[in-house]
Amino acid sequence: MADTDGTMDELAVTQAGNPGNPHGEFGEQMLERMNRSHAEVTNWALDQLEFKAGDRALDIGCGGGATMGRLASCIEAAGGMGHVSGVDISTVSCETSRRNNEEAIRAGRMDVTQASVESLPFADGSFDIVTTVESFYFWPDPERCLAEVARVVRPGGRFLLVADVYRRPDLAEDVLQNIERYDLTVLTPEEYEQLLREAGFSAAKAHLKDGTTWIAVEGVR
Ligand SMILES: C[S@@+](CC[C@H](N)C(=O)[O-])C[C@H]1O[C@@H](n2cnc3c(N)ncnc32)[C@H](O)[C@@H]1O
């Protein structure tokens, strides 16, 4: 749908760009917008984690790459010299993440690989911290994918699953319609915690932010 000035409105760009596997020009536009619109929930969620100098971090479903930059800043603030990897199933997401983190990639402090969470191209225990922001909704077979995530987190390392909506009785009608339209996996805090434990995390805790529908589920390997 075009606005009166001929540009596509936000919903139309999202529908054309496909948030579950961004493609084409609208996919790129949508990822740049999400880099901004997901900033607040991502920064709140990353505040739940403790970083240390030299941390190796992975962002799954890295989209436009802003979370990778935020992870690098957190490691930098803790003393620096870490490494941040990103993976995404979409070619456009990988290209956008690479473009937005060009300098760090050239300096060898970041890398981006096209892959699905179903089969991560990393050895067991490769990461101190693994995050995923607004991506879990789309994963096939959540329990098997979370077991694959657990595999690449080192013993004692952390996983943070971030979403701006979790299942609760008072969700607005338009939110419920979106869940249905994109066939999103949206669980209760208790269901997330149980799923993480079943997938191989020794402990799991859901952080909720008052006055929002945001959730950050933290798993300890
Ligand atoms: C809604 S976007 C969010 C992007 C970014 N994390 C952000 O917060 O702006 C969801 C991203 O998850 C990726 N994704 C979906 N399914 C995936 C899978 N099975 N493995 C890896 N990435 C996946 C999509 O390609 C897309 O880039």
Ligand 1 contact via 157 beta carbon (within 6 Å)? no
Lowest mean per-residue pLDDT among 1-10, 15-24, 30-39, 206-215:
1-10
Question: Nearest residue CA, atom 23 of ligand 1?
Answer: 61
**Does domain 10-220 sit in CATH 3.40.50.150?**
yes
Query: In whole angstroms, what is the distance from residue 133 CA to residue 122 CA?
Result: 19
Ligand 1 contact via 162 beta carbon (within 6 Å)? no
Among 31, 67, 94, 138, residue to substitute to test ligand 1 (most atoms within 8 Å of Cβ): 138
Ligand 1 contact via 28 beta carbon (within 6 Å)? no
Ligand 1 contact via 67 beta carbon (within 6 Å)? yes
Question: Which one has a higher pLDDT value, 1 or 70?
Answer: 70
Other beta carbons within 10 Å of 25: 12
Is residue 154 within 8 A of residue 133, CB to CB? The reply is no
Query: In whole angstroms, what is the distance from residue 186 CA to residue 157 CA?
Result: 25
Residue range 100-109, pLDDT digits in tens = 999 999 999 9
Residue range 109-147, pLDDT digits in tens = 999 999 999 999 999 999 999 999 999 999 999 999 999
Q: Kindly give the interhelix angle for 24-37 and 91-100, rounded to the nearest 10 degrees.
A: 50
Mean pLDDT on 203-210: 98
Residue range 145-155, pLDDT digits in tens = 999 999 999 99
Beta-strand relationship, 56-60 and 215-220: unpaired
Ligand 1 contact via 129 beta carbon (within 6 Å)? no
Question: At 107, phi and psi to the nearest 5?
Answer: -80, 0
Q: What pLDDT does residue 7 have?
A: 54
Residue range 150-195, pLDDT digits in tens = 999 999 999 999 999 999 999 999 999 999 999 999 999 999 999 9
Q: What pLDDT does residue 11 have?
A: 76
Mean pLDDT on 41-70: 98
180: CB partners within 8 A, 6+ apart? none
Q: What pLDDT does residue 14 have?
A: 77
Tokens describing residue 157: 């390392």
Q: What pLDDT does residue 5 have?
A: 46
Tokens describing residue 184: 């999103």
Domain locations along the chain:
10-220
Identify the band that residue 6 occupies on the pLDDT scale cut at 50, 70 and 90: very low
The whole-model pTM stands at 0.95
